[in-house]
Structure 1
Amino acid sequence: MKHYVINGGGMVGASAALALATHGERVTLIDAQPEAQTSDEWDLRISSVNDNHWQWLLSLGIGDDLNHKQLPYQRLSVTTIAGTQLSFTAADAGAEQLGVMVENNNLQAALWKCCQRHAAIEFKAPAQVTDFDLPNQRLTLDDGEQLNYDVLIGADGANSAVARAAAIGYRGWDYGQRCLLANVTLEQPFEAETWEVFRPKGPYALLPLTSNTACLIDYRSAAEINSISSDADTLISELTKTFGDTIGDFQLQRYASFPLQRKHALEYHKGHSLILMGDAAHTIHPLAGQGVNLGFADVRSWLDCGQDVKRYQQQRQQQNARMMRAMDLVNVSFRSSSKPINWLLRGGFSIIERTALKSLLLGSAMQR
């Protein structure tokens, strides 16, 4: 039995703790927050968890601790700037659902409850690491307690303290865009379908939350997002221009925006006693909602690789890099006004729709 210390109790860190404990390891989970916060209204931080990972999460025993802020969806579609559309349904994948829209706080709270009940997990929250003694595999918490470990996992986000302590560098850039999130209540109910439309300035999308609640997503330049979100009235007017023809009248609940960046760790491990997972290892353009799915894949890969650091790095670094390149290609080509590119996309979409390639693509996307 190894002793794991996980810095970061978000969705990836908490799922790693629960999965490792389920596999017979001893785990100490550290997080700076006292508890996962939940409220009656949907928070803006929402994840689209594909069905493969959702079933894995349920297998960890979180089902009874989830609240109502989750919605399975059966269909998704993407539309290029030229109007070419490609749709995927659960039936195409031979599944009951493509995935689940879930509030991050809801999922994190359920994971925390399971971790707190597990005899092999020691939960330290709120707590922060004040010193990393990596050569001696020891760290110090803000209350002075020292913890020894066999393996330290950095699941502490894009500004990872574990990565800094290990002097792990990153390759990446700022996209010069911001992503606006707006939760709205709709006057007319709609189906549980997620969709995304591309345009030159950036895509816009809808994530269903309930039969009459949705999260509207708008990607634009940082300057434009800051301008249209300067006050609620201006934002409502802009969202109506973008989404009104599709969703009808709506009421704005809450909104916020964040910058779009790409970062990829040059190393996923230091020696045999430190590894990175989730956003600590990679941040990706969110247009396909792959961020947290890649983090869950990190956790599962670590277990599948027999906790071998070199195999883990080789597998996950390559797969995550491929996904990053794919998302950048989609973002550029689907927004392009180039006639040759649009012709190629139309032809490619037509072939996908008429052949078994659609099922193969969807099956691949829903795998780890």
Structure 2
Amino acid sequence: MANHTQVAVIGGGLVGKATAVAAANAGFSTLHVAPDAPVDRRTSALMGPSVDYMIDAGLIDDPETLGTPLTRIRIIDATGRPLRAPETVFSASEIGHRAFGWNFANARLGESFSQAAAGNENLDRRAATLKSASRVDGVWHLELGDGGTLTAELLVGADGKGSSVRKAAGISMRERKFDQAALVCDLELERGLDGESVEFHYPNGPFTLVPAGGNRANLVWIDRLETLEDARREPEHLISLLNAKSGHLFGTISAASPSFVFPLSLLSVDVAGRDAAVLVGESAHAFPPIGAQGLNLGLRDVANLNACLKAANPGSYGWADAVARSYGGARRGDLTRTGAFVGGLFTSLLSPHLPAQALRSVGLWGLKTIPLLRKQAISFGMGQ
């Protein structure tokens, strides 16, 4: 059949690239449909299991050459509320690891993923968008933005919050939009973080500094959209705020890159796979950047889909439907747990109500003082 592929992966980004490589490595003819995009200047903190998967999948080699190790995580309650949580530090040495994971520049990961895709005889790429998709007689018929057409047996949506694949497959989603947004940029500190990610909790969201090598840090500041937009209009005012919000713990702070602001929401789906269509990454889930769950969860999507593809029999009738069903079932528990965890953590921090604040404080006291709870929290945060 002309212009036919067994698996069509729609959408660029790291999850889309990883999915295309996984499908091709599983032995399926794969077409990755994604428009050319500007370089992703963001960074991602990826925990040990995610890094292990990337190595096993051939997406990266040695994480030490691409990223900065995250050896400790410090949480500081800066809310100023009567019921404040204690300062809490988690160390990778508690679980016998050198690091919880690594902080990577997305651009460097993207280059490594592209190198993994190059030369794979099962994988082709097409620089286009998806215009429409419909399933007829068990086959997906795709119309692309460049005027081309394509048929595929399994359709994979890695095309973000506004996923066209999700809409074509008729998978419903729920989205809660927040008044908060996130400001991200690179900073140069007078005193470096030495492998420690530091998270200041303020009433309108966390202010997080993630080590990026040397005295460099990546900032993720969550606050009300208008507050962040006002702050970034005046560079000197922004630097003054950053020094204050970091508690002046790291000496003088200076900007090492432009800052960007993006809105936040919590998105979930009823099921991540059905009718020979599956959703990975932000087409299936989106969270505020708290607890380093976003891309980690996306890579767990890819790992689960990879396992389902390896177990499939592509010569049998309805194999793509079977993959979608097994994938949807396999992802349900992880997506539900992680969504509840991140949503609860974020909303409890923002809540003006005393019972919610008390519950959060008691929870952090437990994490600080009860070894079993600490181990469980670390394990969950690493996606184990």
TM-score after normalising by structure 2: 0.85
Counterpart of 2:270 in structure 1 is: 266
Change (3 A) 1:67 1:336: same
Q: Which ranges in structure 1 are unaligned for 5 or more consecutive residues?
A: none
Counterpart of 2:70 in structure 1 is: 73
Residue 236 of structure 1, CA deviation: 1.2
CA distance in 2, matches of 1:348, 1:266: 29
Q: Structure 1 residues 98 and 174 mapped into 2: Cα distance closer, same or farther (>3 Å)?
A: same
2: CA distance between counterparts of 1:343 and 1:130? 49
SS in 2 for 1:288: coil
In structure 2, what is the equivalent of residue 189 of structure 1?
192
Rounded to whole Å, the distance in 1 between the matches of 2:149 and 2:217 is 45
Residue 327 of structure 2 is matched in structure 1 by 312
C-alpha change, 1:367 and 1:328, in structure 2 (3 Å) is closer
> How far off its partner does 1:263 sit?
1.4
Counterpart of 2:49 (choices 26, 49, 52) is 52
Counterpart for residue 214 of structure 1: 217
Q: Give, in angstroms, the shift of residue 313 of structure 1.
A: 1.8
Mapped pair 1:367 → 2:383: yes
The question of 1:19 aligning with 2:35 is answered: no
Following superposition, the deviation at residue 48 of structure 1 comes to 0.8
Q: Which stretch of structure 1 is more off in the superposition, 302-311 or 290-299? A: 302-311
Q: Deviation at 1:72?
A: 1.4
C-alpha separation between the residues in 2 aligned to 1:201 and 1:19? 39
Q: Which residue in 2 is equivalent to 1:104?
A: 106
How many angstroms does 1:266 deviate by? 2.9
Q: Secondary structure of 2:150's partner?
A: strand
* Stretch moving more, 336-345 or 216-225: 336-345
Is 1:171 the counterpart of 2:150 in the alignment? no
Match of 1:156 in 2: 159
Distance 2:109 2:299 in 1: 13
SS in 2 for 1:293: helix
Query: Structure 1 residues 101-110 or 299-308, which shifts more?
Result: 299-308
> SS of the counterpart of 1:76?
strand
Alignment match, 1:203: 206
Could you tell me which of 94, 97, 100 is aligned with 1:95?
97
Give the SS at the match of 1:177.
Answer: strand
Preserved CA contact (<8 Å) 2:86 2:365: no
Q: SS where residue 156 of structure 1 aligns?
A: coil
- RMSD value over aligned CA atoms? 2.5
Give the aligned partner of residue 129 of structure 1: 130
Structure 2 residue 256 is matched with structure 1 residue 255: no
Q: Please, which runs of 5 or more residues in structure 2 have no aligned partner?
A: 313-322
The SS at the match of 1:317 is helix
Tell me, in whole angstroms, the C-alpha distance in 2 between the residues paired with 1:351 and 1:243. 25
Instruction: For residue 205 of structure 2, give the secondary structure of its aligned residue in structure 1.
Output: coil
Assess if the C-alpha contact under 8 Å between 2:156 and 2:277 holds in 1: yes
C-alpha separation in 1, matches of 2:273 and 2:61: 35
Amino acid at match of 1:284: F
| Corresponding residue SS for 1:62 | coil
1:299-352 CA distance string (max 9 Å, x none): 112233446323322332332122122122212334557666565555544444
Q: Structure 1 CA distance, aligned partners of 2:14 and 2:270? A: 23
Quick one: structure 1 residues 185 and 351, their matched pair in 2 at CA, closer, same or farther if it must change by over 3 Å? closer
Q: In the alignment, is residue 333 of structure 1 matched against residue 342 of structure 2?
A: no
Preserved CA contact (<8 Å) 2:204 2:349: no
Q: Is the 8 A contact 1:92 1:358 kept in 2?
A: no
The 2-side partners of 1:146 and 1:341 are apart by 53
Instruction: Work out the CA distance in 2 between the residues paired with 1:345 and 1:65.
Output: 38
CA distance in 2, matches of 1:30, 1:355: 47
In structure 2, C-alpha distance between the alignment counterparts of 1:65 and 1:127, rounded to whole Å: 32
Distance 1:347 1:281 in 2: 32
Distance across 1 between alignment mates of 2:208 and 2:113:
28
**Contact 1:115-1:123 within 8 A present in 2 as well:** no
Deviation at 1:8, TM superposition (A): 1.2
- Tell me the distance in 1 between the aligned counterparts of 2:268 and 2:364: 30
Offset of residue 65 of structure 1: 9.3
Q: Secondary structure at the match of 1:215?
A: strand
Report the Cα offset of residue 205 of structure 1.
0.9
Q: What letter corresponds to residue 366 of structure 1 in structure 2?
A: M
Aligned partners of 1:150, 1:179: CA distance in 2, in Å?
38
Task: Give the alignment's TM-score, normalised by structure 1.
Answer: 0.89
Give 1:47's aligned amino acid. S
Partner of 1:118: 120
**Counterpart residue type for residue 175 of structure 1:** F
Q: CA deviation at 1:132?
A: 1.8
Partner residue of 1:358 out of 353, 356, 374: 374
Per-residue deviation, 1:283: 0.8
Other structure's SS at 2:248 match: helix
Letter in 1 for 2:345: V
SS in 2 for 1:122: strand
Measure, in 2, the Cα distance between the counterparts of 1:200 and 1:224.
13
| Structure-1 residue corresponding to 2:226 | 223
The verdict on how the C-alpha distance between 1:259 and 1:339 changes in structure 2, with shifts beyond 3 A counting, is closer
